[in-house]
Amino acid sequence: MTQDELKELVAKEALEFIPKSGVLGVGSGSTVVKFIEAIAKYKIKVDAAVSSSIKTTHMLEDIGIRVLDTNDVGEYEFYIDGADEIDENFHMIKGGGACLTREKICASMASKFICIADESKLVTQLGKFALPVEVIPMARKIVSIRLKELGANPVLRANCITDNGCEILDLQDFMIEDPIAMENIINNIPGVVTVGLFAKRKADVLLYATKDGVNRKVL
């Protein structure tokens, strides 16, 4: 089974988390693209959504789903999104698609974060996938200096401006021993908009696809 097929499998499984009424939170990335395609394919009714990226918004609107301004919503039940890495405590690295800040906002509004992934995303320690840090452009240099002081090797992501008009520094091979502590430390550097560590607001449910089917873990 290809990784693409695994993503389709898990995306279909996530359809059961779509509420009969009310708002659904929708993340970003290729697994979420499969999820949106599955909504269309199986003609699932979605009352309304909040979206974590401009691309997701366009995709949802293209299949007739109303996308609400997050400021008009407040809180809602389920947020469905992928991850670049997820550990056994459901801490995640996210932001491979540069949508980390809006993803963190949408995740913070939800009662439950449903992470959809294929088994290649499961890790024992976060950090092999480059950790994204969204920065205000004028702070790129000083934030890089502060990140180097933490032992990181920040690399400016080429040709990437986020939906918020910011830049991304990727921290390569930055193995993370204490995800909550590191999330706090990096988020506190002036000029950082968001770090792509999702440890304080982690996933609640993990659906992950293997060649034998979709497994479900609940914390």
Sort residue 27 into left (φ over 0), alpha (ψ -120 to 50) or beta: beta
Q: Is 25 in the site for ligand 5RP (CB under 6 A)?
A: no
Tokens of 79: 């947020």
Q: Which of 82, 127, 154, 179 binds ligand 5RP (CB under 6 A)?
A: 82
> Can you tell me which residue has the tokens 């950090």?
127
Q: Is 8 in the site for ligand 5RP (CB under 6 A)?
A: no
Q: Is 27 exposed, middle or buried (CB count within 10 Å of its CB: 0-12, 13-18, 19+)?
A: buried
Q: Is 103 a catalytic residue?
A: yes
CB of 81 to ligand 5RP, least distance (A): 5
> Can you tell me which residue has the tokens 């499984």?
13
Strand segments, DSSP code E, in 157-203 are 167-171, 192-195, 197-198
Q: Is 203 in the site for ligand 5RP (CB under 6 A)?
A: no
Q: Is 87 in the site for ligand 5RP (CB under 6 A)?
A: no
Q: Which of 49, 100, 130, 192 binds ligand 5RP (CB under 6 A)?
A: 100
Q: Which of 11, 36, 99, 192 binds ligand 5RP (CB under 6 A)?
A: 99
Q: Which of 36, 46, 57, 94 binds ligand 5RP (CB under 6 A)?
A: 94
Contact (Cβ atoms closer than 8 angstroms) between residue 10 and residue 209: yes
Stretch that binds ligand 5RP, among 17-25, 54-62, 92-100, 134-142 (CB under 6 A): 92-100
How far, in Å, CA of 69 to CA of 57, rounded?
Answer: 11
Q: Is 127 in the site for ligand 5RP (CB under 6 A)?
A: no
How far, in Å, CA of 194 to CA of 133, rounded?
Answer: 6
C-beta nearest to ligand 5RP: residue: 29
76 or 208: CB nearest ligand 5RP: 208
Q: Is 97 in the site for ligand 5RP (CB under 6 A)?
A: yes
Name 167's Cβ contacts closer than 8 Å, sequence gap at least 6: 134, 135, 137, 140, 156, 157, 160, 161
Q: Is 103 in the site for ligand 5RP (CB under 6 A)?
A: yes
Instruction: Give the catalytic positions in this structure.
Output: 103
Binding site for ligand 5RP (CB under 6 A): 27-31, 81-84, 94-100, 103
